[in-house]
Amino acid sequence: MSNFFDRPDVRDLGNLELLARQVVEGFIIGLHKSPFHGFSVEFAEHRIYNPGESTKNIDWKVYARSDKLFTKRYEEETNLRCQIVLDASSSMYFPEVTKRSKDYINKLRFSALAAASLMNLLKKQRDAFGLSIFDDEVQQHTRCKLSTSHYRLLLTYLDKLIQNPEHNKRTSAAKALHQIAESVHRRSLVVIFSDMLENGEQQEQLFSALQHLKHNKHEVVLFHVVDKAKELDFEFENRPHIFVDMETGEKVRLQPNQVKETYVAQMEEYISALKLKCMQYQIDFMEANIHDGFRPILQKYLVKRSKMNV
């Protein structure tokens, strides 16, 4: 995984479409060599023509090459609708990526490339997909479609997030998820990429929003995006640091070892509560450490898809 992000083309994420294709192709190769090779991963763009059907969708070029009749598959023939929901609040830009920093990936960049890779896989399987982006409100929301032009349009939205980072941008995940729950097509698969950083009363509102998604008959997968070493384990050099709240700009100066034990305990308590709520609401929860790569995410999607019997 570290080797992937060490590549110059990944450091600037200059071509999301190319990178997403490389991620998926590598995943498929690994899938065929793993115990998960039994998953049904269909990448056909056509289906066999059945006598009696309309001939308007027959692909005559394929017929000329193969002497067999195939029809093109269109959006209305898709098996699954998947709404990808991405948190774009300022906390998702941690760790901050600059020309002088050692980090080439942060939570937002990881989520954007994970979302692009998932869309690439959905497109290959002829499943429709949409994209929702939120911070303190829903900034972008598209309906589920299946087309190359739709896929590339969504990539431009993701690319804009990567290329134009914004600080001091608060989040209101609860408000946004309530909106999305009402606007997404019934019985969709909703995949959320978020660090789920809410405080106090907002946490209960967030749990209520997750419940709303399930109430509307959606299947939900929550990828809890974190930099595990820094955000969960609080692994910083034991020297004075200035910590900056990326959503408010507030600064605090301290030595990590003075607060590490308390911080780690509080984070564990919050994440345990989040996992418990997800279990109660039958929401699939998965920690997505930005340094662990995309294979677990794509694999989780295939597992979920197979359980949905689509």
pLDDT of residue 207: 85
For residues 141 and 61, state if they share a domain: no
C-alpha span between 285 and 287 (Å, rounded): 7
* Res. 172: pLDDT tops 80: no
C-alpha span between 78 and 41 (Å, rounded): 14
Domain span at 51: 44-73
For residues 201 and 156, state if they share a domain: yes
For residues 155 and 290, state if they share a domain: yes
Of 56, 73, 90, which residue constitutes the final position of a domain? Answer: 73
The stretch 261-289 carries a mean pLDDT of 93
Beta strands in 13-61 (DSSP E): 46-48
pLDDT of residue 290: 94
> 195: domain CATH number?
3.40.50.410
- Residue 104 pLDDT level (bands cut at 50, 70, 90): confident
Using the structure block, give the residue that is written with the tokens 């029809």.
71
The stretch 82-101 carries a mean pLDDT of 83
Number of structural domains, the chain?
Answer: 2
Distance of CA 306 to the CA centre of its chain: 18
Higher pLDDT, 169 or 155: 155
Beta-bridged to residue 72, according to DSSP, are 46
For residues 52 and 84, state if they share a domain: no
SS3 content of the chain, % helix, strand, coil (to 5): 45, 15, 35
Amino acid present at 196: M
pLDDT single digits (tens) 27-48: 887 765 554 444 444 444 556 7
87: left (phi over 0), alpha (psi -120 to 50) or beta: beta
For residues 211 and 126, state if they share a domain: yes
The stretch 81-90 carries a mean pLDDT of 93
The stretch 86-112 carries a mean pLDDT of 82
For residues 27 and 50, state if they share a domain: no
Of 52, 73, 94, which residue constitutes the final position of a domain? Answer: 73
For residues 84 and 228, state if they share a domain: yes
For residues 48 and 169, state if they share a domain: no
- Give the mean pLDDT of the chain: 82
pLDDT of residue 190: 94
The stretch 240-259 carries a mean pLDDT of 86
Phi and psi at 287, nearest 5°, equal -70, 130
For residues 113 and 49, state if they share a domain: no
The stretch 135-151 carries a mean pLDDT of 91
- Residue 245 pLDDT level (bands cut at 50, 70, 90): confident
Three-state SS at 223: strand
For residues 102 and 140, state if they share a domain: yes
For residues 53 and 126, state if they share a domain: no
User: The whole model's pTM is what?
Assistant: 0.80
For residues 224 and 196, state if they share a domain: yes
